[in-house]
Amino acid sequence: MISLRGVSKAYPRSGDALRGVSFRLRKGEFAFLTGPSGAGKSTVLELIHFQTRPTEGEVQVSRYNSRRVRRRDIPALRRRVGFVFQDFKLLERLTAAENVAFALEVIGTPRREIAGRVQRLLSQVGLAARHRSRPSELSGGERQRVAVARALATEPRILLADEPTGNLDPDAAGGVFELFRMLNRLGTAVLMATHDADFVRRHPDIRRLELEDGRLARDSAA
């Protein structure tokens, strides 16, 4: 479903962010992407989301290949790959429901379907009761749930999460993580970047891809 083959990424000023990274993530799989700050975790996720292209090697996401992808195909690719950020990136002036509706609207969902789908998405992340609250009225964990509901609006087969629990206390972090596990059991592949070593150690059953200074230092599945 996702495969990186010999991927290197160099930035003009900061040099090599990634060097010769290769791995595959199968349909419905769950993996942690770990490593110290600056190891290249975010860069890997951005490459899979086609926000940037590799300097060498190639990234393949379902039928899209970084060498051949056309610019106008990228929106379709991104609808299959949901993205969740550490800082949520919710629109502050909109309610929880409106934040989710925004995503549905901009991808061209028919107007009459939006309300129903927003309600279903918010229920799925356990936030049906808070649909009229603005982000400022929600806890960190609740905000991240809204962001996940928004990422699910396009019914993606893959969910990429960049330090989704980084801003959350342990309880809320555990809750968001359980949400990811639940979505994964329903069939969505999840790749979650985190530098919380304790958290990763507590889940030894989950595959772990460990980056070090731009290289893939360890893959627990290999």
Q: Which two tokens stand for residue 10?
A: 């160099």
Does residue 37 interact with ligand ATP by CB under 6 A? yes
User: From CA 132, how far away is CA 5, in angstroms rounded?
Assistant: 45
Amino acid identity for residue 186 in this structure? L
Residue 157 binding result from other proteins, ligand ATP, Mg ion, none, given CB thresholds of 5 to 8 Å by partner type: none
Does residue 35 interact with ligand ATP by CB under 6 A? yes
Residue 170 binding result from other proteins, ligand ATP, Mg ion, none, given CB thresholds of 5 to 8 Å by partner type: none
CA-nearest of 35, 49, 53, 25 to 154 is: 49
Over the window 181 to 220, marking each residue x when it contacts ligand ATP by CB under 6 A and - when it does not, the resulting string is --------------x-------------------------
Tell me 168's DSSP state.
Answer: S
Q: Is 159 exposed, middle or buried (0-12, 13-18, 19+ CB in 10 A)?
A: buried
Q: Is 199 exposed, middle or buried (0-12, 13-18, 19+ CB in 10 A)?
A: middle
Q: Which two tokens stand for residue 189?
A: 């592949």
Does residue 99 interact with Mg ion by CB under 5 A? no
From the list 37-45, 76-84, 128-136, 173-181, the region that binds ligand ATP by CB under 6 A is 37-45
| φ, ψ dihedrals at 23, nearest 5° | -165, 165
User: From CA 125, how far away is CA 176, in angstroms rounded?
Assistant: 9
Does residue 143 interact with other proteins by CB under 8 A? no
Report in angstroms how near the CB of residue 21 gets to ligand ATP at its nearest.
11
Over the window 56 to 75, marking each residue x when it contacts other proteins by CB under 8 A and - when it does not, the resulting string is -------------xxxx-xx
Q: H/E element holding 45? A: helix 41-48
**Hey, what's the torsion of the CAs at 72, 74, 79, 80, to 10 degrees?**
130
From the list 34-42, 101-109, 146-154, 164-172, the region that binds Mg ion by CB under 5 A is 34-42
Does residue 54 interact with ligand ATP by CB under 6 A? no
Does residue 42 interact with ligand ATP by CB under 6 A? yes
Does residue 160 interact with ligand ATP by CB under 6 A? no
- Which residues bind to Mg ion, rule: CB under 5 A? 42
- Which residues bind to other proteins, rule: CB under 8 A? 49-53, 69-72, 74-79, 83, 89, 91, 102-103, 106-108, 150-151, 153-154
